[in-house]
Amino acid sequence: MKNSEKVHDQQSCTAALNAMSDSFYVIGGKWKLRIIISLRNGHTRFNEIQRSIPGLSAKVLSGELKDLEANGLIERKVYAETPVVVEYVITPYSDTLEPVLNALVSWGEQHRNKIREGVF
Amino acid sequence: MKNSEKVHDQQSCTAALNAMSDSFYVIGGKWKLRIIISLRNGHTRFNEIQRSIPGLSAKVLSGELKDLEANGLIERKVYAETPVVVEYVITPYSDTLEPVLNALVSWGEQHRNKIREGVF
DNA sequence: GTTAGTGCTTACCTTTGGGTAACTGCTAAC
DNA sequence: GTTAGCAGTTACCCAAAGGTAAGCACTAAC
């Protein structure tokens, strides 16, 4: 899809808006990206993840993990050993989020500087 | 002790997380990006903007416009003519959001396709 | 046998976000 | 003079999000 000039017809605009909403739905909210990053940092177990994110309750973590799994960003592995072990791991698919994360991080950084400088 | 691939020390990681939170705070939520896009499409007046975004109430629009103005993304111009006219316009600064918007839109699009294909 | 840990779920309560509708002060049109 | 539009603000209410705490089934340590 070429974007050499700005295409502004109704269809493409609505589609773009919906796509944006989808992104926000999947990775938005207080915790989703923090959880993904916790997993990237090597945490795999439920309580381990929870401890790595201050303020995150078990209830919320439980729900967020289900959402992330449903969207293919993480995988839940159950090892039916004597004490059942559950592991959460990021999938290769979650790497596709890189550009989004980078964009968010760099814009946030420069914006924070702008605000700190008292530009507004 | 440098890791040329990925730097994962505590400081840089926390900073990145905060930057991300800032981004979400500024452009997150149901309406902010939709409002920006409405302004980009040439709408300037309060009621005009509201009518262009179905489901958006005056109360919420009022609040969102204040937030966006506080973050320098839009400007509120008051013309003290006989009937007072108020105009909202996007600032050049809001163009810096381009990379973020593009990243969100393209990831959302490809993800929607993945889901529609029933990959998960 | 009591304590602690794991991986959650459930019930309960509070906070908030957002919707609805009314109302302001002003002007212009019918 | 009644209606309609502009640019909001305010009060009221509801539903959803999220925090707290307890509980469950199991195991391992003290």
Low-confidence residues of chain B: pLDDT under 50: 1-6
B9 in A contact zone (CB under 8 Å) = no
Q: Is residue A47 included in any domain, yes or no?
A: yes
The pLDDT tens digits of the residues spanning B31-42 come to 999 999 999 999
Q: Give yes or no for residue A5 having a pLDDT over 60.
A: no
pLDDT of residue A28: 85
Distance, Å, A80 CA → C23 C1': 65
Q: Is residue A87 included in any domain, yes or no?
A: yes
Q: Which of strand C's nucleotides are less than 7 A from any protein C-beta? A: 5-11, 17-22, 26-28
Q: Is residue B15 included in any domain, yes or no?
A: no
Question: Residue A82 — pLDDT band, cuts 50, 70, 90?
Answer: confident
Q: What are the chain A neighbours of B96 within 8 Å (beta carbons)?
A: 107, 110
Question: Residue A21 — pLDDT band, cuts 50, 70, 90?
Answer: confident
pLDDT of residue B3: 42
Q: Give yes or no for residue A1 having a pLDDT over 90.
A: no
Rounded average pLDDT over A17-38: 89
Joined tokens for residue B72: 């320098």
pLDDT of residue A8: 58
Helix H or strand E encompassing A29: none
Are B17 and A37 inside 8 Å of each other by CB?
Answer: yes
A95 in B contact zone (CB under 8 Å) = no
Q: Is residue A61 included in any domain, yes or no?
A: yes
Arithmetic mean of pLDDT over chain A: 88
Query: Among partner residues B72, B93, B112, which is closest to A19 by beta-carbon distance?
Result: B112
Q: Is residue B17 included in any domain, yes or no?
A: no
Q: Is residue B4 included in any domain, yes or no?
A: no
B57 in A contact zone (CB under 8 Å) = no
- Identify which of A2, A1, A18 has the alpha carbon closest to the alpha carbon of residue A10: A18
pLDDT of residue A3: 45
Q: Is residue B43 included in any domain, yes or no?
A: yes
Using CB atoms within 10 Å of the CB of residue A107, give its burial: 0 to 12 exposed, 13 to 18 middle, 19+ buried.
buried
Q: Tally the domains of chain A.
A: 1
Domain holding B93: CATH number? Answer: 1.10.10.10
**Which residues constitute the domain of residue B33?**
26-116
